[in-house]
Amino acid sequence: MTKFYDEVVIDTVVWVGAKSERDNYYEKSNNIINAFLNKKIKKVIITDYVLIETINFLLRKSGFEFTYDVLNSITESGKIEIRYSDEIFLTKIKEIFEKYKNLSLTDCSIVALMEERKIKYLFSFDSGFDKVKGIIRKETT
């Protein structure tokens, strides 16, 4: 039986993996992105931290033109919601950062978003999220 997802978060490693043919997670990442494009995943929400981390990484690896196209495809898709940080959100991110010392600030923004929106599923290859209560980390759809 095929599983469908209403709202999910997709981590940086998936966005980067889907755009980098030499990436170890290229195939898995593309399967996740294709599930979104084929409406198996209804809505994707990311934080501005994830967007920045993805774009900065791709800029170093793939050059400006390619990265600019990726930036536009994410920000102009109409199907990806970006949660921009404000002072209240940053306070929550810092609390999570202090609690989970093995997570990056970007990872903590993901946890904060998932708690705020009560999102259960995170597509990521980062096992650091496995220690966070309430998050179901998925590597495939």
User: Residue 67: left (phi > 0), alpha (psi -120 to 50), or beta?
Assistant: alpha
Please tell me whether residue 67 adopts helix, strand or coil conformation.
Answer: helix
Domain count, the chain: 1
Q: What is the mean pLDDT of each run of 10 residues along the chain (141 residues)?
A: 89 95 94 95 97 97 95 93 98 98 97 98 97 96 90
- What is the Cα–Cα distance from 123 to 128, expressed in whole angstroms? 13
pLDDT on residue 107: 98
pLDDT on residue 1: 62
Q: What is the pTM of this model?
A: 0.94
Q: 108: domain CATH number? A: 3.40.50.1010
State the residue range of the domain holding 117. Answer: 5-138
